[in-house]
Every structure is written in C-alpha cells, then in structure tokens.
C-alpha cells in the first residue's frame, strides 16, 4: 500500500516535468509582447520596460526562464503578476472560489447522476428510464458554452432567479447557477454509465446465485448488484474530477467568478508563463492526488485489483 503510493508519486515527477515544460513552451511560443499588452495604448518609458523585463527575466533564453519559474514554484517564492498583484495572495483568494464551485457542481452531478442512474437501472424501461434516455441525449448534444450563456440569460437576466455574474452575493447563491449548469451537463454521462453498468450486472451469474440463495430483491440489489455496478463509476470519477479544472476556466470567465480558472484565463491572455505554469502545476498535482485516491478507493471496492 505505502509502496504503491510512493511508486505513484515517484512516477508523477517525470510526468510533472514534461507537463510544466510543455505548458511553458506553449506560452513562450505565443505571439505578442506581454508588457506592451498590459500597458495597452499608453506609452511606456523605455527604462520602465527594461526594468520590468529584467524583473520577469523576459530577455533570458527559454530554458533559463523555465528553470527560474520552476525554482520559484518549488521554493514557494511565487512573486507577483506582471500587473503587480502578489500571487500568493491571489491564490489564497481564488482557491476557495474554485473549490466551492467545483464541489457544489460535483454535489449536483453526483446526486442527480447516481440517483437517476440507479433508479433507471433498477426500473428498466419504466417512465423515468425512458425520459432519462431522452433527456441525457439532449444534454449530451448541447455544447457547454451554449448551455452556460443560455442559462445565464434565461435564469439570470430574464427570470432573475440567480445573480447574473460575480460573487457579491456570496456562497451558495452566486455559485448556484454555474454549479447547476455544470452539474446537469455532467450528470447525463454519469447517469447513463450508471444505468448501463447496472443493466450489465443484473444479468451476471452471481446475481442468479444470489436469487437462488433465496435473498430478497432489495438485498440482491444493494448487496450484490450495486457494489459491482459501481466499479466503472469509480474510474469515471477520476477522469471527471480532473476535467473540472479545465471546465472552470470557461465557467469562471463566463460567470465572472474570481477563481483559479479565471486567473488562468487572464494569465494566458497576458502571456504570463510563470503564472500559467504555476496553475498548471497546481492542477497537475491535484490530478495526481485525485487519481491516486481513486485508485486506492478502487482497490477497497474491488479485491481483484488490490496490491497491483
């Protein structure tokens, strides 16, 4: 177990190097001068520009810039953004925003997905099952961007049920609409996977054995079918949670939530390689941790993959 965790962490190191290097290279390759962009139309004195360029090592070769950024990240010396904001303060403000959004969205997605998936799986070909099939088909066909803007317009601007954007109204009110949209869009895949998995498990031989043991229907469902049907869902969790940060970039920008996603979006726009790499590293670490947890959980649920 401990060896397994250590091995996973060790293999994460080279992957981390490749990911950060790749991300940094992509930002470096973007056209345009970040400082001039920051200044906009205003003229910048050459001396100021030179000082800033020196401060952010913009004139150094690519690899030196990358190594300096990595050194800053690893020593926890995050510095400031081009605009002068302290990155450590920014993170402290922004991480809770993204966490709240992601957790709320996941709560919606999991409650809806598991509830409808399990229900539809157990009561196959019923009314709920058939409506679910149709509803998920529609949801899966709607692009996220369209759904976000449509929801913002209908429920925020027109019906005024939710704040249109920003976090002024605090948690959970400001987060409800974006989280609901993410949750509803994500629930479709989850519910269908859950349903299919149950349908497959229902016909398994061991379910027949359970019935032959004279067990009640409820016991067969909850003790024999569900624990097996949940296994593919666990794999889905890891992949899905990892995608949440990527989704946050879009959602936070549309709903103007000052979280990490929005920070990332701004940093990419300004070509701030250091910030992009820092945020990518954060995303990467959380990705590794989540997947490690998922793998450990999988081992708990399925004895066949223990100690692998």
Partner 1 sequence: MTRHGEVLLKVDDLTVEFDTPQGPVRAVDGVSWQVRAGETLAILGESGSGKSVSTQALTGILEMPPGRIVSGTAQYRGADLIAMTVKERRKIVGDRITMVFQDSLSALNPVQSVGTQIAECYRVHRGLSKQDALRRAAEMLDQVRIPAAAKRVRDYPHEFSGGMRQRVMLAMALALDPDVLIADEPTTALDVTVQAQILELIAELQAERDMGVVLITHDLGVVSDVADNVVVMYAGQVVERASTAAALEYPVHPYTEGLLGSMPSADLKGQELPTIPGVPPSLRAIPSGCAFRTRCPIAIDDCAAAVPPLLRVAPGRDAACIRRPSIAAKEAV
Residue from 7, 173, 223, 269 binding partner 1 (CB under 8 A): 223
DSSP 223: I
Residue 213 CB, shortest distance to partner 1, in Å, is 4
Q: Does 209 bind partner 1 (CB under 8 A)?
A: yes
Cβ atoms of 133 and 119 within 8 Å: the answer is no
Q: Does 210 bind partner 1 (CB under 8 A)?
A: yes
Residue 196 CB, shortest distance to partner 1, in Å, is 18
* Site track 155-194 with partner 1 (rule: CB under 8 A), x = hit: ----------------------------------------
Nearer to partner 1, 147 or 231 (CB): 231
The kind and range of the H/E element at 145 are helix 144-151
Cβ atoms of 24 and 70 within 8 Å: the answer is no
Q: Does 126 bind partner 1 (CB under 8 A)?
A: no
Distance CA 65, CA 84 (A): 19
Question: Which 3 state secondary structure label does DSSP give 80?
Answer: strand
Q: Encoding tokens for residue 210?
A: 């359970």
Q: Does 124 bind partner 1 (CB under 8 A)?
A: no
Distance CA 131, CA 134 (A): 5
Q: Encoding tokens for residue 211?
A: 């019935």
Q: Does 208 bind partner 1 (CB under 8 A)?
A: yes
Residue from 212, 218, 307, 308 binding partner 1 (CB under 8 A): 212
Q: Does 214 bind partner 1 (CB under 8 A)?
A: yes
* Site track 285-304 with partner 1 (rule: CB under 8 A), x = hit: ----------------xxxx
Distance CA 19, CA 129 (A): 42
Cβ atoms of 129 and 120 within 8 Å: the answer is yes
Binding site for partner 1 (CB under 8 A): 203-206, 208-216, 219, 223-224, 227-228, 231, 301-304
């Amino acid at each position: 177990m401990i060896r397994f965790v250590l091995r996973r962490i060790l293999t994460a190191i080279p992957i981390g190097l490749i990911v950060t290097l790749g991300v940094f290279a992509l930002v470096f390759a973007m056209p345009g001068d970040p400082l001039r962009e920051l200044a906009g139309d205003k003229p910048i004195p050459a001396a100021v520009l030179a000082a800033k360029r020196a401060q952010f090592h913009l004139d150094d070769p690519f690899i030196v810039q990358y190594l300096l950024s990595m050194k800053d990240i690893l020593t926890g010396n995050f510095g400031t953004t081009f605009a002068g904001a302290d990155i450590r303060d920014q993170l402290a403000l922004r991480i809770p925003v993204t966490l709240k959004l992601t957790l709320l969205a996941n709560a919606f997605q999991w409650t809806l997905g598991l509830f409808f998936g399990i229900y539809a799986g157990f009561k196959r070909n019923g009314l709920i099952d058939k409506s679910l099939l149709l509803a998920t088909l529609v949801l899966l066909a709607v692009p996220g961007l369209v759904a976000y803007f449509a929801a913002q317009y209908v429920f925020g601007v027109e019906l005024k049920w939710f704040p249109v954007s920003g976090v002024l109204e605090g948690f959970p009110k400001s987060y409800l609409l974006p989280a609901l949209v993410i949750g509803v869009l994500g629930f479709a895949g989850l519910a269908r996977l859950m349903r299919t998995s149950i349908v497959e498990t229902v016909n398994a031989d061991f379910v027949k054995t359970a019935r032959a043991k004279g067990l009640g229907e409820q016991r067969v469902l909850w003790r024999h079918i569900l624990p097996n049907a949940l296994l593919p869902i666990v794999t889905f969790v890891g992949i899905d949670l990892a995608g949440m940060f990527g989704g946050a970039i879009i959602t936070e920008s549309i709903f103007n939530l000052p979280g990490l996603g929005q920070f990332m979006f701004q940093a990419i726009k300004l070509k701030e390689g250091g910030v992009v790499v820092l945020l990518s590293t954060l995303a990467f670490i959380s990705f590794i941790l989540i997947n490690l947890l998922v793998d450990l959980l999988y081992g708990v649920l399925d004895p066949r993959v223990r100690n692998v």
